[in-house]
Structure 1
Amino acid sequence: MVPTEMMPRWISRVLLGLILLLMCGGAPGDVFSSEVVIRSDHQFAFARQFLDRGDYPAAAAEFERFRYFFPDDPRGDEALYLIGFCRLREGRHDEARTLFGRLVNEGADPSLAARAMFMAGESYYEEGRMEEASAVFEEVVRRYPGLEIKNAALYRLGWVDLRRDQWEEASASFEGVSPESPLYGRAGLLAGESLKGPELPWKEPSTAGVLAAVLPGAGHAYVGRWKDGLVALLLNGVFIWAAVEAFDSDQDVLGGILAFLEVGWYSGNIYSAVNAAHKYNRKVRDDFRKGLDERLDLRLFTGGGGAVGLGVSWRF
């Protein structure tokens, strides 16, 4: 046997370490192995951190991981709702509706199912699909009359009607909000504001077209677009004058070409005037709605303490 003092120092250290390890009942692999235990509370909180920061793809991935590792956790439906919320904020509306639909159709808690149905309607609203949005919000009102989400649905129905220029219907929807709801005061204000819609300035497109036909440029002037009206008047005037001069000079071919071009400019002047009237009306109403929207529209929000849902901005 080789005396210890004759061994290289590193070999003796390795042997000594192995002897101590065996004396303690361990195995070499135990020194390098460890087990990570993920608790459901920690995983849910970890996902919430991404949600609160607005990192919706990461939050959705972590909530999906939560549902995979903890399929029996009672917060599974809530996690599914939050995944749908993340997809909605990402603009992935079809996917969000699929997830919300699962909660509505698979027996989730009524309060959560009601919120999920509302969010499905919200996804249509964000896409500008007012008919589908209206149908979903009406179903929320019908199916969940005893929950606060009914008032949010009525509030949103009012906005759907505002965006469709259905002023009286919008006012009626806002008036349907319960006095006990936090939305009641804002809804009452919007009910009154909605009735101002029919009084907004309006330019009749047919009138603009007739004026443009009688005198090129007059239709544009009618809707306040004076510069466009002046250009239309001068352009048509020049072509008419040039065509007349060509015919007077027996240049029939040139006169015919100029007359043909003038017909195009003249028709374009009428079409442009009608289109300008439509744009004027749309802008007036969009500006009216925007003024209300910036103060009183519903907002999706995430907040501390697990809050995820709807709120109302309130600015003067």
Structure 2
Amino acid sequence: MIRFAKITLRVFLPAFLCAGPLLAQEDLFSRENSLAFARYLQRTQQFDFAAQEYERLHYLWPADTSFLLEMVANYRLSGECKHFSRAYELLSDGLGRGHSDYAREYLALCFKCAPAHERFDEVLAFFPEHERSYYRLGQFWLNKQYDNALALYAANSYEYEGNRALLFSLTGELSEQRFKSPALAMALSALVPGSGRAYSKRWADAAISFVLISTSAFASYRAFHKKGIKSVNGWLFGGISFSFYVSNIYGSYKAAKHYNSSIYKDYQQHAESILHRAY
């Protein structure tokens, strides 16, 4: 055993002594190696750590702006909106030189963190009209400005592909969607209790409203028919029936509003999925 250890030491010790200086000459924390490591972290979707590594690079080589676009991209991919206000400063050099890829990255970050930001319009001016229409439509969707989105869709004359086409197609579907009228729902329930809720496809609520109002109204009618206007039960059941009747009208208004908001919510989720999937 001792002899084997001596032989091993004689074989590997010279090799180690020769390789030592070569290893020492390689700086693992050089700009190139650090940048390669940051990109590896990004490729493996470790966006938080990648952003930190890019920050270290920026701290050590502040004059080097070649990787700032990647740095901001990792802020967006990691969902780090706390860096949003700093992103414009980091990208300002590329934006100042009119680089559209810098502008696209900033608008993508706006979509993620602040679609209503005041600089959105400023950066949007970098693009031709057909691209501006797409980004503007995305901004309208994320800000839930549906009327503006529909107006832009109606005025659009451009053709798009991929996710951009999907967003315009979704807006077109919304323009053809039939919504419920709260006023009509109230009018229907005023005429026939529960019909306003049925109009908004709240079938169970409609049935319950109709049964409660009709039974309490009938109980009031029977009590008044037997004892006249002095009937306590007649007034009691009449009051109950009237309260159900009024609440049924208001409930029909709320049901129509809820029906419409649920449609908007489904479309909103789909639009956000399209926009975030695009970046």
Taking a change above 3 Å as real, the CA distance of residues 120 and 74 of structure 1, as seen in their structure-2 partners, is: closer
Structure 1 residue 234: Cα displacement: 0.6
Taking a change above 3 Å as real, the CA distance of residues 151 and 43 of structure 1, as seen in their structure-2 partners, is: farther
Contact persistence 1:64–1:79 (CA under 8 A): no
Structure 1 residue 152: Cα displacement: 4.7
Higher RCO (CA < 8 A, seq sep 6+): 2
**More deviation, 240-249/268-277:** 240-249
Taking a change above 3 Å as real, the CA distance of residues 229 and 49 of structure 1, as seen in their structure-2 partners, is: same
Taking a change above 3 Å as real, the CA distance of residues 209 and 60 of structure 1, as seen in their structure-2 partners, is: same
**What CA distance in whole angstroms lies between the structure 2 residues aligned with 1:222 and 1:232?**
13
Which blocks of at least 5 consecutive residues in structure 2 are unaligned? 1-23
**What CA distance in whole angstroms lies between the structure 2 residues aligned with 1:82 and 1:161?**
23
**What CA distance in whole angstroms lies between the structure 1 residues aligned with 2:240 and 2:202?**
24
**What CA distance in whole angstroms lies between the structure 2 residues aligned with 1:287 and 1:81?**
30
Which structure shows the higher helix fraction? 2
Note if 1:157 corresponds to 2:152: no
Larger Rg: 1
Structure 1 residue 139: Cα displacement: 3.2
Aligned to 1:82: 73
Aligned counterpart for 2:191 among listed residues 199, 206, 214: 214
What letter corresponds to residue 84 of structure 2 in structure 1?
A: R
Aligned to 2:180: 203
In the TM superposition, what whole-angstrom CA distance separates every residue of 1:176-223 from its partner, at most 9, and x where no partner exists?
57xxxxx45765676576455443223211010111122210101222
Q: How does 1:103-122 map onto structure 2 within 5 Å?
A: 103-105=90-92, 109-111=97-99, 113-122=102-111
**What CA distance in whole angstroms lies between the structure 2 residues aligned with 1:99 and 1:176?**
34
What letter corresponds to residue 135 of structure 2 in structure 1?
A: R
Classify the secondary structure of the residue corresponding to 1:38. Answer: coil
Aligned to 2:217: 240
Contact persistence 1:161–1:170 (CA under 8 A): no
Which blocks of at least 5 consecutive residues in structure 1 are unaligned? 1-32, 178-182, 302-309, 311-316
Aligned to 2:204: 227
**What CA distance in whole angstroms lies between the structure 1 residues aligned with 2:258 and 2:133?**
30
Aligned to 1:100: 87
Aligned to 1:278: 257
In the TM superposition, what whole-angstrom CA distance separates every residue of 1:277-296 from its partner, at most 9, and x where no partner exists?
123334445556767777xx
Taking only aligned residues, the RMSD between alpha carbons, in angstroms, comes to 3.8
What letter corresponds to residue 256 of structure 2 in structure 1?
A: A
**What CA distance in whole angstroms lies between the structure 1 residues aligned with 2:25 and 2:91?**
42
Aligned to 1:45: 36
Classify the secondary structure of the residue corresponding to 1:110. Answer: coil
**What CA distance in whole angstroms lies between the structure 2 residues aligned with 1:35 and 1:226?**
74
What letter corresponds to residue 146 of structure 2 in structure 1?
A: D
In the TM superposition, what whole-angstrom CA distance separates every residue of 1:75-128 from its partner, at most 9, and x where no partner exists?
352354234324xx42x43x2421222235566553254134313431356xxx
What letter corresponds to residue 56 of structure 1 in structure 2?
A: F
Contact persistence 1:211–1:218 (CA under 8 A): yes
Taking a change above 3 Å as real, the CA distance of residues 66 and 192 of structure 1, as seen in their structure-2 partners, is: closer
Aligned to 1:313: none
What letter corresponds to residue 145 of structure 1 in structure 2?
A: F
**What CA distance in whole angstroms lies between the structure 2 residues aligned with 1:201 and 1:257?**
41
Aligned to 1:56: 47
What letter corresponds to residue 89 of structure 2 in structure 1?
A: R
**What CA distance in whole angstroms lies between the structure 2 residues aligned with 1:282 and 1:240?**
33
Taking a change above 3 Å as real, the CA distance of residues 189 and 116 of structure 1, as seen in their structure-2 partners, is: closer
**What CA distance in whole angstroms lies between the structure 2 residues aligned with 1:67 and 1:289?**
37
Aligned to 1:145: 127
